[in-house]
Structure 1
Amino acid sequence: MNIGIYLYDDAEVLDFSGPFEVFNTAIRLSDIQWNIFFIAEKKAMITARGGLQLLPHYGIDQHPPLDLLFIVGGEHNDQLNKTNVIDWIGEQASTTNYVATVCTGAFLLAQTGLLDGRSVTTHWQDICALTNDFPALNVMTGKRWVEDGKYISSAGISAGIDMSLHLVSRFVSQELANKTAKQMDYVWCR
């Protein structure tokens, strides 16, 4: 399975590093063959929040086919105005088996129109903005993650870890998800 994590300048670090750790820990504890990689608009250094610099594995113009597209949050407003990025997210979302968002990553997926009429969540601080900006969504509050068909969204930052553990349980088994949480010394909020 190919898991592509889309990130950008000022992305929230735990939004991508937490899920990345969950999936990699699950790989170490089992015999699953997952390929996890970072994708950005271009294959060039990005600077996430706090000044963390990261070189993505791929740009949006050239990457392996995706089974799971993972879209992280952060300072996302510039991304909403990039037609090439939103078009790419829409194209990938229509062909992948699953699409997951963490925090304000939900705004990027919502911009494609694919979430219209679906249930979704985001960081508690952005619930009103998501509701106002995208009135066709059923924005849910007080949820760590929300699953609606192949679209799965999580609340802010650390909730992406909880959602990723849920994905491990869904893709492989509850037992592996429990082992992964235990190995990470993480108390999983289900």
Structure 2
Amino acid sequence: MIFALQEAPPLSGEVAQLRALQAAGMHVAPTLVLAGLETEFYQLGNLAEQIRRAFEGVFGARLDEEKLEKACAFAEKLLRESYLLPERAEEVRAALPEGPVLVRYAGEAPFYVETGKQETLWALKRLWASRWQVDAVLLRQPELAPPDVSSLVQAVGEDLGPDEALSAQAAQILGQPVQVWASAGRVVRVG
């Protein structure tokens, strides 16, 4: 559920790439992989059923844009105002690295940079709620449920950006062209 990068279960995609780069000796930013935490959050709050009901009648013969906007606003608010299990929130807080952290989905662009542990928990809920923005829902419809993707929390500095030298090194290790974003000389994102 809450893993350091090197302890995360075997995954594919960006998490696997970050692990491969770390195993090859590249400096990778301290990374927490939150696998299944969002799913647990939905299940324990019965959020999926509440959201399903809110979206009834949105996608029919024609898209009801007014209902779509209301349903998306409801879903976003529901996620932001729901709570993680207290013991799970404490586990995440205890595992968080010190200093500023980047909160995002694996394989996706950066989302939020936060500095405090409580702020990071709030950023996680905002990240999960972002799956219910109108554009995000339209991209995945007719599927309503968001994709099951691990959330990442990574220690970063203020200098997060593309790094051509690290990109070339990572491409050699991974055997494919990649773009690496780095902070303080450490790999943060592989795209």
Q: Which has the higher contact order (CA 8 A, sep 6+)?
A: 2
Q: Which has the larger radius of gyration?
A: 2
Relative to its length, the structure with more helix (as a share) is 2
Give the structure-1-normalised TM-score: 0.30
